[in-house]
Copies of this chain bind each other. A is one copy, B any other.
């Protein structure tokens, strides 16, 4: 429990002023000689600058707040890992908050984030109330929505091409020769959920097909499994678009194991995200890839610009994805 060693201590040991010590550690100018003396003394004493004290003056904490909702959906731990690496490489650190349920409690979390003087906030798959929006704006701290848009929001956002992606899935399923199309939607209260539902529907119509049924899977395994079962048993669907891989796995579990349906012979299932697990042999899920590497890179780049006070060209960034053909959906003939 040794007392913390401060720049004062180092100054004394090196025989220089405290300002001198500060200068060598903050990268300001200092003579070779001073540099050497200070570094030596610092090493001897095990000195490291107190970042909190520095933040107080510079007004930069080098901390980014990250709010994430669904860590059970593999897309998010994966993204978190990427955020962590990218941000650390840039000298930033992550204060993490997990929102228990959608919406609820998020306002409180962000208040706490603000208290810590974070330089920016990234909300992954979490919506923000209007009241909070104005508070964050008033505080003047940059905020970015990741994998979630919000109409009328003043914040930057990065998503994949939800609309055209689901459009392509519809097209793929039509070309696969299916007859009755069902959609297990993401939570329809979320922009992502809505966009994918809309794109799928439009894609179907564009190819002379139409939706036989749609259920809200609420991004939950249970709801999705139930929804899929109804779509197959009641609506006799032979093609299911499930709005994210996380739910698609549950649908596959339900259909193949519980109901005993052959996939894709009797029913085709397509997901969205292409999380690593989608490639695992037991699922081998046909899906639409959301390139999380590029999404995270874009998010980080935008956040850095915002922190620097720059205005990015586009506030709404959309990263194009790609259909990944695997074995849970019948392949088109030609």
Contact = CB atoms under 8 A, between A and B. Distances in A.
B51 A53 contact: no
A2 interface: yes
A99 to B, nearest CB: 10
A280 B250 CA distance: 8
B77 A72 contact: yes
A114 B48 contact: yes
A252 B277 CA distance: 13
Interface string A25-66: 000000000000000000000101111110110000101001
A81 B49 CA distance: 31
A133 B314 CA distance: 47
Given A52-B56, A53-B56, A93-B95, A252 B77 contact: no
Copies in the complex: 2
A254 B2 CA distance: 53
Given A50-B117, A112-B93, A116-B51, A85 B98 contact: yes
Contacts of A2: 138-140
Contacts of A117: 50-52
A207 interface: no
Interface in A68-86: 71-72, 74, 76-78, 80-81, 84-85
A49 B52 CA distance: 15
Contact of A48 (B56, B66, B115): B115
A283 interface: yes
Interface of A: 1-2, 4, 46, 48-53, 55-56, 61, 63, 66, 71-72, 74, 76-78, 80-81, 84-85, 88, 93-98, 100, 111-112, 114-117, 135, 138-140, 249-250, 252-254, 256-258, 276, 280-284
Nearest 10 Cβ contacts at the A-B interface: A253-B281, A257-B281, A1-B140, A77-B77, A84-B98, A71-B77, A51-B115, A96-B96, A71-B81, A52-B52
Given A51-B117, A93-B97, A249-B282, 16 more contacts: A48-B114, A49-B115, A50-B117, A51-B116, A66-B96, A71-B80, A72-B276, A80-B98, A81-B98, A84-B96, A84-B97, A85-B98, A93-B116, A94-B95, A96-B96, A256-B281
7 contacts: A48-B115, A53-B56, A88-B112, A96-B96, A254-B281, A257-B284, A258-B281
